[in-house]
Amino acid sequence: MKIINDFKNKKVLVLGLAMSGYSASKLLLKLGAEVIVNDFQDLTHDKQAIELSSLGVEIVSGGHPLSLLDDSVDYIIKNPGIPYTNPLIKKAQDKAIPILTEIELAYLINESSIIAITGTNGKTTTTKMVEAVLKHNREKGQVYASGNIGVPASTTAQKVTSEDDTVMEVSSFQLMGIQSFKPSIAVITNIYSAHLDYHKTRKEYVLAKLAITKNHTESDYLVYNADQSELTELVLNESRAQLIPFSRKKKLFKGVWIENQNILFNSEIIMNVQDIILPGKHNLENILAAIAVAKIKGVTNETIQFVFKQFKGVPHRMQYVDEINTRLFYNDSKATNTLATIHALDGFDKPVILIAGGMDRGDSYEELIPALRNHVKALITFGETAEKIAVIGKEVNLPKIKQLTTVSESVQQAYKWSEEEDVILLSPASASWDQYKTFEERGEDFIKAVSELKSE
């Protein structure tokens, strides 16, 4: 890591603990800062807070007192989940106290090449794809995945060298506060409307995503989805990077596209679409983006072919689980809204038995109607939204619909209804919090149920 003096003997307020705040605090101590951690939750018994306190960090928890912002505070490191409308942040802005994000702090000490990936959908999957393709047969250095994927950027930034690559998933929350952060390669998978409870307007959300390229120069690269006209226009007008488009729908003359079932990069055939085992049109878009990054980094076609012939997906995101008597089981527990479930269903040409349901957040499920009509042969629902989703199934006259209580029961019923070559898909279109702590826990329950079914 680069040793910098920006924070030496400076008083830094870390606003929000969590994983990123914990990692940032430890890094700031290394850099010679005086650190205060403030969190709205009570941290009296928090293990990380207790450890930081033993290292000399002042812990203030149970609220965000404005009195913290006396004239001695030099910097704030803000947790991405805390909005800029927070009174403490607004007061800091009034006092002209620099407010940095954790990825900005990580960037200041980072020595590796950074590939940063953002977008409304597909960030995590594309990040894992790029990580996999850059790792395979690598001769020098290491590949580190970090950021919004679960490992704080300030953790990996302390390990990396100039021979390494950091593949960083970054959210709109993280990008909104960047100042000097500049990845050598940036990827925007797509832009839809999301997180408007945080950003308030779609314009603010889109501008936050576009910040990934705001510091780019002609020596950097921006990979973007050319099938989105709005995104294309934005990057053409705003980015100074070398633009590398990708398209699933049309022929390009530069970048990555599909022609006669072949994936091409700048007119060079890379691989055949039929060799990819991961289903879904959206996943194909993610693969095109990852191939663009791989080619920029000089990865061979043989390596790209090997990786995508093997890549089965990220856990709980269109994850292939198993095959039982020619029935294919997929775990898409991360699909916590209708759009994600529509994407999942659109990825299959085979008949699907859909398992859906979960916490009722007042959503309407009418958007599912075309996808149910086109892809689903039977519907099994569970959880708080079981009845609401079943009603939508009845609207499209699905021949088999059943409301059950658990995921395990749903797997058993789906198999009873299935025929050879059917797909049995968990894609809930609902949050998990009615029965599970996380969507990961729900997905693991599905995987366990499939395993038990197979053992029978």
120 annotated binding-site participant: yes
What torsion do the CA atoms of 69, 74, 79, 83 make, to the nearest 10 degrees? 50
The predicted-structure confidence for 234-266, as pLDDT tens digits, reads as follows: 999 999 999 999 999 999 999 999 999 999 999
pLDDT grade for 428, boundaries at 50, 70 and 90: very high
pLDDT grade for 198, boundaries at 50, 70 and 90: low
135 annotated binding-site participant: no
213 annotated binding-site participant: no
- Residue-level pLDDT at 270: 98
Is pLDDT of 170 > 90? yes
331 annotated binding-site participant: no
Mean pLDDT score across all residues of the chain: 94
Is pLDDT of 321 > 70? yes
Judged by average pLDDT, the poorest of 40-54, 124-138, 182-196 is 182-196
- Residue-level pLDDT at 204: 82
- Residue-level pLDDT at 278: 87
- Residue-level pLDDT at 343: 87
- Residue-level pLDDT at 202: 79
124 annotated binding-site participant: yes
pLDDT grade for 196, boundaries at 50, 70 and 90: low
- Residue-level pLDDT at 121: 83
Distance in angstroms (rounded) separating the CA atoms of residues 346 and 340? 10
- Residue-level pLDDT at 312: 84
The mean pLDDT value for 181-210 works out to 82
User: Over the chain, what HEC string results?
Assistant: CCCCCCCCCCEEEEECCHHHHHHHHHHHHHCCCEEEEEECCCCCCCHHHHHHHHCCCEEEECCCCHHHCCCCCCEEEECCCCCCCCHHHHHHHHCCCCEEEHHHHHHHHCCCEEEEEECCCCHHHHHHHHHHHHHCCCCCCCEEEEECCCCCHHHHCCCCCCCCEEEEECCHHHHCCCCCCCCCEEEECCCCCCCHHHHCCHHHHHHHHHHHHCCCCCCCEEEEECCCHHHHHHHHHHCCCEEEEEECCCCCCCCEEEECCEEEECCEEEEEHHHCCCCCHHHHHHHHHHHHHHHHCCCCHHHHHHHHHHCCCECCECEEEEEECCEEEEECCCCCCHHHHHHHHHCCCCCEEEEEECECCCCCCHHHHHHHHHHEEEEEEECCCHHHHHHHHHHCCCCEEEECCCHHHHHHHHHHHCCCCCEEEECCCCECCCCCCCHHHHHHHHHHHHHHHHHC
- Residue-level pLDDT at 26: 97
- Residue-level pLDDT at 106: 97
| 8 A C-beta contact, residue 408 and residue 443 | no
Count the neighbouring beta carbons within 10 Å of the beta carbon of residue 70. 9
Is pLDDT of 194 > 70? no
The predicted-structure confidence for 67-101, as pLDDT tens digits, reads as follows: 999 889 999 999 988 988 899 999 999 999 999 99
- Residue-level pLDDT at 199: 63
Q: Provide the phi-psi class of 429: left if phi over 0, else alpha when psi is between -120 and 50, else beta.
A: left
Q: 0.95 cut: is pTM over it? A: no
| 8 A C-beta contact, residue 283 and residue 313 | yes
The mean pLDDT value for 308-329 works out to 92
pLDDT grade for 112, boundaries at 50, 70 and 90: very high
Is pLDDT of 137 > 80? yes
Structure tokens at 379: 């519907």
pLDDT grade for 132, boundaries at 50, 70 and 90: very high
- Residue-level pLDDT at 64: 94
122 annotated binding-site participant: yes
Domains and CATH numbers, the chain: 11-97 (3.40.50.720), 104-310 (3.40.1190.10), 319-455 (3.90.190.20)
